[in-house]
Structure 1
Amino acid sequence: MRMKLAAAAAMALSVMPLSASADGEVNIYSYRQAYLLEPLLNAFEKETGIKANVVFAKKGLAERLEREGRNSPADLVMTVDISRINDLVERDLVASVDNDTLENNIPENLRHPDGKWFALTTRGRLIFASKERVEEGEITTYEELADDKWDNRICTRSGKHPYNIALISSMIAHHGEEETEQWLEGVKDNLARKPQGGDRDQIKAIAEGVCDLAIGNSYYYGNMLNDENQRPAAEAVRLVFPNAEGRGTHVNISGIQLTKSAPNRDNAIKLMEFLSTEEAQRIYAEANTEYPANPNVSPSGQVAEWGEINPDQLSLQEIANNRNAAVKLVDRVDYDNL
């Protein structure tokens, strides 16, 4: 029911006309769903008196900003995945923000060097393992996914999906292109089926016995546990936080960016500051079973029960910079074709 209401709210908000310069307002373009942002923006308005207007979309926000140019009413963009976030930087659609509050609240590796994006939440790219067929501690690193012992036992979504591209980009940063290519070939050789579906489908495949291991974002597991119909599949897997004893688990982000056109710049920066605070970080992370970006805020609820995550401290901007190389590797090993 909540998802149906969220979809209805998103549809309604997506056609809401935005005021380009009204006092006491801030305008947001967002790929994030309505139910995730509503409690945050309500709290912001209550604290500041500034009303947040939102356009929700599934795709095309960058193109919309380009069409609108300097006349765009958008002050902020809220989205997910470092590749999508960096795309706005490369298109020169976002502005730098030099702000002490944001720099104090958001770690250096989770923000752009020039303030062109800031993470708000993180999510681990985890290994899901069958509780029945994989012993605890039997796999502990991303690198081990290429071991022969996992032949015909791994499921993943498309190698070209942004979440997997980000993981491959991080492997390039740690190991170089040549070694990462060998690793990716090994993972492909161990696939139980052609890459397909989303992260939830990989968990379902483990529950159905199609494979024993899968790669997916932590919040999908949390969302499945909160869904009566999908809970049995989620309960069939064990979470593995790869490389927890070493460099740390690869994380991706949801983030926020100030547009170059921002007609309500001051209000927009106030909202950015608010979203980095401990209060807002708790609200935002809990809404989608994610981790707060602010290190002073501990995970809570269900996420805390999973155990402590040791996130890779690699700069997300470095991961973004390796994106093209990662895409080429996926094509070179023909990952999606078995």
Structure 2
Amino acid sequence: MPLFKKVLVTAVAASAGLGSSLSLAQEEVNIYSYRQPFLIEPFLKEFTEETGIETNIIFGDQGLTERLKREGRNSPADVILTVDIGRLQELVDAGVTQPIEDETISANIPEQYFGENNQWVGLTSRARVFFTSVERMEPGEIKTYEDLADPRFEGRICTRPGDDAYNVAMIASMIAEHGEEYTKEWLEGFKSNLARKPQGNDRAQVKAIRDGVCDVAIGNTYYYGKMMEDEEQRSWAESARIEFPNQEDRGTHVNISGMALAKHAPNEDNAYKLMRFLTEETAQSMYANVNYEYPLNPEVAPSDAVAAWGEFKADDVPLSEVAELRRRATELVNEVGFNN
């Protein structure tokens, strides 16, 4: 049985006058999460305050799908939270989820953000954008993902490793748009334009802009908000602007965070209460204002900070197609030696 982190403990009144024969059943829901603790603990705290249901959580950077398979019917997991369409599809392909059938959730989240047979549901979106130097780049100097391979930007681009989940999804969207042959050539050109070996996370790329290592970085929008509220990292964000790629054609690549119902959820009723909560106004507003993500509930607006980045056209390629192309995207990254 896994050792859960107790995110919040429900207080239970006790009295010496109560006989030992009285047993109080504890209301709880067990969560497996790929999402970082600081991103979701505020929501879980609010959920417990509203419902009295304790949340027990295991965080993992990787391996949760394999853990669910290994645990099988004995798994204590009720709800799985993750980022990236690929990880959601990985859970489905592993057979560790079950359909989410609930009128409230269906009313709160648009149909296009449900997986096949409702095996997962999206919660928020984030755009994969360019961060460009305010000192060394003019706005609009780089316009498209295709421009990442333009020789004009030789030695001027920084990015995470190519086989990172966020980049894999972006590359998969390129395959969906242009096919494998074009995408492989594009990756080779992209690699030729790198200022350094792919490394670090999205924030590290923006720091590299501040430090003069590169002029263009690729990253998810919400990191910009997180850097602006961090005293140490604010100067990184201030050195760069957000630019949304491909606004004159197909639109900017968008990925999601989402949730799935574990196949053998032992606390299914409480799992549904949590999943409903995560799609409703309170949690969706917290996603917007605390995490700088785009809510998928259309009744909830982005935060003022996010809205200030401007409206943008999103790529409408189905996320299911992006998920299907992830393996080939990873293979192309390896074929061109992108990370070397």
Residue 298 in structure 1 maps to residue 305 in structure 2 = no
The structure 1 residue matched to 2:326, chosen from 316, 323, 326, is: 323
TM-score normalised over the length of structure 1: 0.89
Give 1:284 shift: 2.1
Q: Which residue of structure 2 lines up, in the alignment, with residue 254 of structure 1?
A: 257
The residue type equivalent to 1:297 in the other structure is V
Q: Which runs of 5+ in 1 are unaligned?
A: 1-9, 17-21
The structure 1 residue matched to 2:272, chosen from 265, 269, 278, is: 269
Please report the RMSD computed on the Cα atoms of aligned residues, expressed in angstroms: 2.0
Residue 66 in structure 1 maps to residue 60 in structure 2 = no
- Look up the SS of the partner of 2:245 in the other structure: coil
C-alpha contact 2:29 2:55 (8 A) present in aligned 1? yes
- Look up the SS of the partner of 1:144 in the other structure: helix
Give 1:11 shift: 8.7
Residue 33 in structure 1 maps to residue 36 in structure 2 = yes
TM-score normalised over the length of structure 2: 0.89
Q: Which runs of 5+ in 2 are unaligned?
A: 10-24
Give the whole-Å Cα distance in 1 for the aligned partners of 2:194 and 2:67: 38
- Look up the SS of the partner of 1:132 in the other structure: coil
Give 1:321 shift: 0.7
Aligned length: 322
C-alpha contact 2:32 2:80 (8 A) present in aligned 1? yes
Residue 189 in structure 1 maps to residue 189 in structure 2 = no
Question: CA 1:278–1:257 in 2, change beyond 3 Å: closer, same or farther?
Answer: same
Q: Which residue of structure 1 lines up, in the alignment, with residue 157 of structure 2?
A: 154
The structure 2 residue matched to 1:177, chosen from 162, 180, 185, is: 180
C-alpha contact 1:109 1:314 (8 A) present in aligned 2? no
Question: CA 1:11–1:273 in 2, change beyond 3 Å: closer, same or farther?
Answer: closer
Of 247-256 and 232-241, deviating more is: 247-256
Give the whole-Å Cα distance in 1 for the aligned partners of 2:38 and 2:198: 30
Give the whole-Å Cα distance in 2 for the aligned partners of 1:227 and 1:267: 35
- Look up the SS of the partner of 2:116 in the other structure: coil
The residue type equivalent to 1:98 in the other structure is E
Give the whole-Å Cα distance in 2 for the aligned partners of 1:148 and 1:215: 17
Give the whole-Å Cα distance in 1 for the aligned partners of 2:336 and 2:153: 18
C-alpha contact 2:288 2:301 (8 A) present in aligned 1? no
C-alpha contact 1:111 1:119 (8 A) present in aligned 2? yes
Give the whole-Å Cα distance in 1 for the aligned partners of 2:231 and 2:45: 28
Deviations 1:200-253 (A, max 9, x none): 111111111111111111122221111111111210111111123332211112
The residue type equivalent to 1:216 in the other structure is G
Give 1:297 shift: 1.5
Give 1:94 shift: 0.7
C-alpha contact 1:28 1:78 (8 A) present in aligned 2? yes
Give 1:38 shift: 2.9
Deviations 1:38-88 (A, max 9, x none): 332233334434332222233322222122110111111111122222211
Deviations 1:231-285 (A, max 9, x none): 1121011111112333221111211100001111122122212211122101123
Q: Which residue of structure 1 lines up, in the alignment, with residue 144 of structure 2?
A: 141
**Which runs of structure 1 show a deviation greater than 4 angstroms over 4 or more consecutive aligned residues?**
none
Give the whole-Å Cα distance in 2 for the aligned partners of 1:264 and 1:23: 11
Give 1:132 shift: 1.2
Deviations 1:315-336 (A, max 9, x none): 2221111111101111111111
Give the whole-Å Cα distance in 1 for the aligned partners of 2:210 and 2:37: 30
The structure 1 residue matched to 2:6, chosen from 6, 9, 13, is: 13
The residue type equivalent to 1:83 in the other structure is G
Of 320-329 and 54-63, deviating more is: 54-63
Give 1:23 shift: 6.2
Of 82-91 and 303-312, deviating more is: 303-312
C-alpha contact 2:5 2:56 (8 A) present in aligned 1? no
What percentage of residue pairs aligned between the two structures are identical? Answer: 56
Give 1:121 shift: 1.3
The residue type equivalent to 2:288 in the other structure is A
Q: Which residue of structure 2 lines up, in the alignment, with residue 4 of structure 1?
A: none
Of 244-253 and 178-187, deviating more is: 244-253
Which has the larger Rg?
Answer: 2
Give the whole-Å Cα distance in 2 for the aligned partners of 1:334 and 1:170: 19
Aligned 1:216-295 pairs, distance under 5 A: 216-295=219-298
- Look up the SS of the partner of 1:127 in the other structure: strand
Give the whole-Å Cα distance in 1 for the aligned partners of 2:166 and 2:37: 22
Give 1:185 shift: 1.5
C-alpha contact 1:109 1:313 (8 A) present in aligned 2? no
